[in-house]
Chain A
Amino acid sequence: MALPKRIIKETERLMAEPVPGISAVPHEDNLRYFDVKIHGPSQSPYEGGVFKLELFLPDDYPMTPPKIRFLTKIYHPNIDKLGRICLDVLKSNWSPALQIRTILLSIQALLGAPNPDDPLANDVAQDWKTDEKAAIQTARDWTSKYAAPE
């Protein structure tokens, strides 16, 4: 089946003008399926880490949001053990005006601004609220353990 023009355009732009600290490369055998890498933002506990994600554009994209999850283990109150992400723009606040590019930027921003008041990983959010300093240290430890650049 032909790939919709919208997806082709987005892909071309992602390749031609990549966002700093983010890469997204489609699989050769499935152009709706992307390997994504996001660099942890500076001055966050994820700084220095490179996080792998996978992204899939379902049939009804852009009427429905992309599906995306972390493949790298990460300690973050809005990301669960299976790498699923709690982010409003991936759910109720999705709009077809958003793009792969804007979603990946939102995820990078989420790494810089964890929100324990809207948690997906309840145990992590609890740690974050009771002892933020220790939680940030755990996030740093996991970053160096699991997200070391290759």
Chain B
Amino acid sequence: MAKVPRNFRLLEELEKGEKGLGAEACSYGLENGDDLLMTNWNGTILGPPHSVHENRIYSLKIHCGPDYPDVPPEISFVSKINLPCVDPNNGKVDPGKLPCLMDWKRQFTMETILIELRRYMALPQHKKLPQPPEGSSYS
């Protein structure tokens, strides 16, 4: 298999995101539409049903560095959330606590991470955790 270079991989992800071909409960797009390096992205996760997150919409920031997708992106919540894999001070997702970031593979995408985070929110041990007020953000 040919190794798709970073930029063409990100263009594929962008097109998939723009056309809404991905999972319905997650979305992502470029922070600035004219960022030729495609480094900074916004993501959203619709809270999973039958959990404290139901009907909430969470915003995230994703940073794809020059070595993406050989290394995972940095990802953090903008909306406040109480989850064991999220730093309560700044919303950063701890790459040592989310399986897809721990065992990152080149074929994983930003969507992979968003979907896994959503699943993580719905885990039996997480779905009833008390949450900060809806609409609050890390500054």
Measured CB to CB, the residues of A under 8 A from B are: 1, 27, 30, 32-33, 54, 56-59, 67, 69, 71, 73, 81-84
**For the side of the interface on B, what is the size category?**
10 to 19
Given contacts A56-B8, A69-B11, contact A32 B3 (CB under 8 A): yes
A82 is contacted by which of B1, B4, B38 (Cβ under 8 Å)? B38
B36 touches A30 (CB 8 A): no
Most chain B CB neighbours (cut-off 10 Å) among A54, A69, A81, A82: A82
Residues of B within 8 A of A32 (CB): 2-3
Q: Distance (Å) between the CB of A102 and the closest chain B CB?
A: 20
A71 touches B1 (CB 8 A): no
A30 touches B1 (CB 8 A): no
Given contact pairs A32-B2, A69-B7, a sample of 5 additional A-B residue pairs in the complex whose CB atoms are under 8 Å apart: A1-B1, A67-B11, A81-B36, A82-B11, A82-B14
Q: Distance (Å) between the CB of A66 and the closest chain B CB?
A: 10
Roughly how many angstroms separate A54 CA and B38 CA in the complex, as a whole number? Answer: 14
Q: Distance (Å) between the CB of B38 and the closest chain A CB?
A: 7
Residues of B within 8 A of A56 (CB): 2, 4-5, 8
Among residues of B, the one whose C-beta sits closest to the C-beta of A83 is B36
